[in-house]
Structure formats: structure tokens, C-alpha cells
Structure 1
């Protein structure tokens, strides 16, 4: 084990800083000086032990403080990998044997599988939300290039692509907020609208999007962008792993989970109305409790496990199988909503069969299908597929998934508020009344008559809403 620690530490220095003053020896676990320094001469062997102050001072003399910290982080990760592999020995001979590849620790892998690992923090521009790729062949050996094992760390090192994805995410989230806020205001201003159950559900759904978008913007700016632009890795928010960034990570996970659960609530309510029109839900409190309470339960469970088992990197690093504490209920919401959508379409098709010669019915059914897709979150299924990290389409697909995930609030607000027929009628009515009131402001008899007319029309509009 001591030789392993020194060998891996020497190669950490080589992989991170190939043009610096030391190079690893192939025969002994030492770093060899490739040039003269103030405290060493060329050809001198230095033991790469990050716990030895003399060795650290000599090696870090040719590095800046950030590079020295990154080298020590790499050495620490290699030692943790050794302890992990000792604790998890190979189960069968047919698997690819776990290994330390110089940057990351890979456990045993099944044959013919693509394996992913969160990008290590000690790389210059990597963030743990991205993954490196290592392929295990069907014969139980890791993929090799030019006779050496090969891991694709390209996604961890593509700074420009990362920044582009951040800008795209910020643009989508800001655009969503700019539509969601006035949409909620419109729903609250018009009393006939806010008294309707489905509008109340829309308000909560829109609010979950606003909270999710705000936390996503804060995360992108405070954590991710800081990690990519901070020249000193050890001074970044992600590396310092403070209580504030972990709290932000928790709220980001919770708010995103509320999106999925509120999608389910919207789907459940609409499915209930269509499948059992004579018995609509009398109270929305069970849905409110589900929409805001259920995500809190499994988010708290996840946070408790994370704080005790993997309390690092602002909880951005993959938590392995424990991630399913969040993924499973969110994915279940999408699957159930897909069932709701299929059943709603079945009801619409059944109604179409009673009037087969009415093309307008077909158009309405087709329109209903497209309208319900963003409300039920069905488009999120396309983001489940993972394009291989090394493929040419990986970057484009990442931006596509970023757009799909972060623009849902924009399209939901646009379709269910600004393109809503009831909202447009009431907006047009209010605009006409205000315009005419301003135009006839100097003629009090006309103004009084206009007020009575608007009041009467508003009363009729409320009666129609009540009848609906």
C-alpha cells in the first residue's frame, strides 16, 4: 500500500502538470527532478508524500498554491480509492476489475457496459454534475487505446461547452420567470378565475416552477459559474463545501421535486374530471398536501443520508444508488401521468367515434394532446436517454436536454395563461372598459353609463363562470 500511494501520487503530478519540474519514475515510487531548483538538483528523486512537509515544499515549489492543493487532492482521492477497493473485492472473474486510472476510482464493472463517474474536483474546470466515461468490453477488460486503458474525460475538461450550457440554462429560467410571475398575477387579479379549482392548481404549479427556476439560477451563478471561473480551485464555493451551498443544494432538489409532484397533481385532477365528470374533487387540500409535502419527505431523507455518508462538493457529486431516493418518485410521477394522458386520449377517441364526420372534433383532440404534453411533463421522457460522452452528438444533446428541462415553465405559462381563451376574453374586456373610460373621462353622464354597462357585463361574465 505505501508503494501504491507513492506511485499514484507521482502519476497524479504527471497527469495534472505534465510540463512541470518533476516526472514520475517507472521503476521506483519517486518523482525525478527534470531541472535544477532552489532546493534540489536535476535528477534528484523526491518521495511524493503529501503528508511529508519536506517533500511537499520541494514539489510545490514549482507549482502555485492552487496547483499544489489540486495535487494533494488527487493523492487523497487515490488513497481513498485503494481503501474502497480493498473493502469491495472482485465478486466474479468475468467483470472488469476496479482500477485507479490517474483521475478517478472505478469499481468492478459488468461486461459490455458503459460506466460513468462524476468529474473529479481537482481538474481545472470540472464540475461533479458532469461525468467521465469508461467502457468495459464483453471479455471483461477495460477499453484500451494504443495498448493502455483509456477513460474519456472530455466532458470534464470542455470549459466552453460548460459555460454555454450555463448561459442557456440561465436564459431559459429567466424567460420562464418573466412569464410565470405575470401569469400568477393574472390568475389572482380576476376573481372568477381564481375561484376555479383548476386555476388554483395552476397557481401552485406555476409557483413550484418559479421556486425551481430561482434555485437553479442561484446554483448556476453561485456554484457552477464560480467553479469554472475561479482560478483557485481550493477557494471555490464547491470545494469549500459550506453550509450555505449545501442548503442551496437541498432547496434545489426539493423545488425540482415539487415540479414533478405538481405535474402528477395536475394530471390526477384532469383525469378525475374526465373519467368521472359527475364527481369532481370537492377539496384541493389533499392535492396541496401532496404537491408541497410529499417532496419534502423524500428530500429530507436524501439530505440526511447525504450529510452522513457523502457530505462533500455541495452534494453535487453523484451519490450512486442513493440518487434513486429522488429519481424514483419523480420518475413515477411521469409514468403515472403518461397513463393519465393515454386514458384521456382514449376517452377523446371514443367520443370521436360517435361523430366520425366532424373534422373539428379531431382537431380538438389533436390540440388537447399537444397542450397536455408540457402540463403532464411527457416531454421530459426524452431527457432520460444518455448520449455516450465521447460521441459527437453529446454536446448538442446536452444543450437540447437543458432547453427542454428549463423551458417547461415558459411553455406552461404561455399555453395555460396567455393563450387561455378565458384569460384573453377578460383581458380584452378590461382593456375596452379602461380605454373607453379614459376616452370619455370628460363626459360624466357617459362615464356613469359606461360604468353601469361594464358592471352589468362583468356580472354576466361571473354568472357564466359560475355555470361552468
Structure 2
């Protein structure tokens, strides 16, 4: 009887060990870098790596949340995974768990960075579902296995080869990833171990192509240069408008004020590029001005938005003024105080919800970075102002082609020239606004993205010079005034030159000679 019991116990032990071995062989695993992890713990490791691979400056206190070791019962050493200690309990780095996501999202400075962490985790889960294999399954030694490297999913590849991919949007700490795809690369090597050759991945993936710094430096430099050219070509026209009394009439004062607003906006934008954008690119370990998010830099970003709105509000004031003069040609000109008050109100009005949302929901990065649901508050206002101006211009054209066709007075000619100039400017302002407001989220080539940005910056930089050219440098009134005052100023020197300095009979000049 005792022998029978001992045999039964032995049979049970052998059966149990075989079942456990069979269970271990049947366990599904996903390759995470150099380790094959069970599918139960793979996403937990991926969640931690997606979080810890971020720049520490995206976290509150510039500290990456520390990880402790937790485990899943029944998996032994395979069940160990990194977890986040909170009080007396622990949470997995699992953004699919709402409690864990809320706790860890609070450690990020920006909600957009917490959302990036979640998207990286979801990409890892999809990768695991694609590359999952039974533990111990035979693989072709001449091919590197499919794996997740912490940022991207790589398919199986032959030895001595390179696999190319692109940098995913969630790896960028900025609020908006580049619209184009930057290249990444991973190498499959042939390693010789114990007289046998086996394909293995180079554990370091080449993500050097993901850096956007050089392209951003070029983009910011070009933008600042175009705005500098705009200021240099616009300021002389502003001086001319102020210097000649004859040009201080309401119609020309509107041109002058439009130029002033463009110059101020350009100067503020250059200051923003230099003080915030370039500083952010150069910052390494130290917190940049944008990371500090001080009151001064937030005020600067708000002023840039305000004066950008003011440009289009002033253009609308020009359109309303012209429409009143042409469509109601026999009525008096509009009340200028009312017109300027309307333009100021239109410029300020969208800034109220924009500022409130910035303070409540997007209070980071000196308010200098974009947000999809925020940008359209100002961009939508500018597009609406352009649409209203376009409608006014269509009505002005109708009047010019009907009521004023046979009128050839000096006053009507000036109005016609001004209307043509304003009509010419609408596409210049409109196309650039639509380009900025509705930039595609994905552009196939990074070279096309650079062209896209440079065209937009060029059109923005041409706004001031074109206004100056049409309303001042090519304006007969200002040209005649400049020529007249120049001739008047040259009368004295010319008389002195002809009758003294070039006259040999004048004794005083002989002494001077």
C-alpha cells in the first residue's frame, strides 16, 4: 500500500512538472529589445519605457517618476515588471488604467505630453499583437527577430541589412510633431558565437535623423530675416506719412496705421523668435525661458497674437472706409473714431477666450506653442475678417464698374487707385493666413515642409513692403510731396552753388577758395 502511495505521489509530481513545462512552452511572448517578455508583462514594461525615454524637463520638478519592482503571481521571474509607488500602494505604468493614467499624467507639465505617453503605449500594444510568438519557438538564425525597441516596432530582417522606418510623432516633446517623416534606422548584424553565426539586432537604434534642430534653426532664421526686411522697407514709408502734412488725411492715415501695426507685429515676432524659440533650441540641461513659463514671455506671446489680429482688423477698417466712400459716394466720410474703435474691439475680442483657455488649460511654454482647438480662435477671426473684406471689395468693384465708370474727377481717381491697391493686397494676406491656419498635418517630404514654411514666411514678410509700395512709394500724392519738398529744400543750395561757389568774380568765394 505504501509503495502504491509513493508511486502515485511520484506520478503526480512528474505529471505536474510536465504540465508546468508544457504551460511555459505554450506561453506567448513578445520581443522587447533583447528580452522575450510574456504578453502579460510586455505592455507594463513598454509603458514604463515610453515614459522614461522622455526628456526629464517635461516632468514636474524635472524628475522622471521613479520605478519600483512589482510582480505578477504565477509567472516567477518572468512576472517582474516596473511599477510606480504611491503611498502604501503601487500602480503599473499602464495608461490604459484610468487610475494609473491620472496619477502619472499629473507628473507631466503638459497634458499633451501625457497624451503622447499613452499613444506610445498603444503603439507598443499593437506591435506586440503583431510580433507575438510562443516561447521557445524556433526562429531562422539568418534573420533578426521582430521586436519593439522602446519607441518603434521593427519587423524581422535578414542579417547584415538595415531596416528603415520613420520617427513617430509621440517621441517628440514639442506640442506639435513635424508634419513630415524624419528617418530612423536599425541594423541587423551577423554575430558569431561558439562557432555558429546568428543574426542579432544592434541594440542601439539610429534615431539621430529624428532631430529637428537644424531645420528649425533654418526656419526661424529665415522667418526672422524676412520680418527684418519687412521692417526695413516699411519704416521709411511710415516716416514719409508722418513728415508731410498733406498726407495726414484720414484715407492715408489708415494706410499709415496699417503699416505701423505690421511693423510692430514683425518686431514682436522677431523678439519672440530670438527670446523664446532660439533659446528653447539651445537649452540642454538648464530650463529654457519657455520651460520657466514666466509672466513676461506669456505677455509677449499674447501681444504677438493681438497685433496679428490688429493687422486684419485695420485692413477691414480700410475696406469699410473705401466702401463708404465709393458705395455711398455722395455721403460724408465715416467717423474715424468709430472706425478705429471698431478695429480695436475686433482685434481684442478673440483674445479674451484665447487668454482664458491659455490660463486654464494650456498654461505652458510661454503660450508660444500651438494647440488645435486654440489656434482657430484667432485664425478663424482673421479668416472671417478677410472674407468680410472680400465681400466689401466685390461691392466696391460693382460700383466702380457701374456708377463711377464715367466719373473722371481727381477725387474718384484717388479712390479707384486705393481700391485697386487694397484688392491687390487681399490675396497676399489671405493666402498666407489660410496656409498658416490650415497647414496639413502630414507632408510626405521634409523638403516640401521647408518649402511650405518658407513660402508662408515670405508672404508674411512681403505684406509690409507691398503696403508701403502701393500706398506710399508708388502713390502720386506722396511722391509729389517728396519731390516738391526736395526741390524746395534744394533752392537755397542751388542758388549758393551757382552764384557764389561757381562764380569766380565773387570776392567772398575767392577767399573761401
- In the superposition, the TM-score normalised over structure 1's length comes to 0.62
8 Å Cα contact 1:257-1:295 kept in structure 2: yes
Asked whether 1:338 is paired with 2:411, we answer no
Corresponding residue for residue 368 of structure 2: 316
Aligned partners of 1:418 and 1:439: how far apart in 2? 26
Aligned partners of 1:390 and 1:262: how far apart in 2? 33
Corresponding residue for residue 189 of structure 1: 243
Give the drift of 1:354.
6.8
Aligned partners of 2:178 and 2:390: how far apart in 1? 29
User: What is the correspondence of 1:25-424 to structure 2 with a 5 Å cutoff?
Assistant: 47=82, 49=84, 79=114, 123=172, 127-128=174-175, 131-132=178-179, 157-194=211-248, 196-232=249-285, 235-350=287-402, 369=420, 372-374=423-425, 377-380=429-432, 383=435, 384-387=437-440, 389-392=442-445, 393-424=448-479
Deviation string, structure 1 residues 259-314 (Cα, Å, up to 9, x no partner):
11111111111122111111132420011112223322321331122112221111
Aligned partners of 2:113 and 2:310: how far apart in 1? 38
| Partner residue of 1:427 out of 454, 458, 482 | 482
- In 2 relative to 1, CA 129–182 (structure 1 residues): closer, same or farther, beyond 3 Å? farther
Give the drift of 1:253.
0.8
Aligned partners of 1:284 and 1:155: how far apart in 2? 55
8 Å Cα contact 1:74-1:103 kept in structure 2: no
Aligned partners of 2:44 and 2:179: how far apart in 1? 23
Deviation string, structure 1 residues 341-388 (Cα, Å, up to 9, x no partner):
222223333369879xxxxxxxx9899646532267344355255345
- Over the aligned positions, Cα root-mean-square deviation in angstroms equals 4.5
8 Å Cα contact 2:44-2:81 kept in structure 1: no
- In the superposition, the TM-score normalised over structure 2's length comes to 0.57
- In 2 relative to 1, CA 239–206 (structure 1 residues): closer, same or farther, beyond 3 Å? same
- In 2 relative to 1, CA 303–46 (structure 1 residues): closer, same or farther, beyond 3 Å? same
Aligned partners of 2:374 and 2:110: how far apart in 1? 26
Q: Secondary structure at the match of 1:47?
A: strand
Give the drift of 1:336.
0.7
Gap runs ≥5 in structure 2: 1-40, 57-68, 72-77, 88-106, 120-148, 153-167, 182-206, 408-414, 501-513
Q: Structure 1: which 4+ aligned runs deviate by more than 6 Å?
A: 2-5, 74-78, 81-84, 101-104, 153-156, 351-355, 364-367, 442-445
Q: Secondary structure at the match of 2:349?
A: helix
Corresponding residue for residue 111 of structure 1: none
Give the drift of 1:50.
9.5
- In 2 relative to 1, CA 321–329 (structure 1 residues): closer, same or farther, beyond 3 Å? same
Aligned partners of 1:102 and 1:267: how far apart in 2? 56
Aligned partners of 2:177 and 2:420: how far apart in 1? 34
Aligned partners of 1:77 and 1:231: how far apart in 2? 21
8 Å Cα contact 1:6-1:49 kept in structure 2: no
- In 2 relative to 1, CA 16–302 (structure 1 residues): closer, same or farther, beyond 3 Å? closer
| Partner residue of 1:10 out of 35, 49, 57 | 49
Corresponding residue for residue 141 of structure 2: none
Aligned partners of 2:110 and 2:356: how far apart in 1? 28
Deviation string, structure 1 residues 135-182 (Cα, Å, up to 9, x no partner):
xxxxxxxxxxxxxxxxxx999843222222212211221122223222
Aligned partners of 2:86 and 2:398: how far apart in 1? 68
- In 2 relative to 1, CA 177–102 (structure 1 residues): closer, same or farther, beyond 3 Å? farther
Aligned partners of 2:423 and 2:326: how far apart in 1? 13
8 Å Cα contact 2:229-2:461 kept in structure 1: no
8 Å Cα contact 1:5-1:75 kept in structure 2: no
- In 2 relative to 1, CA 7–249 (structure 1 residues): closer, same or farther, beyond 3 Å? same
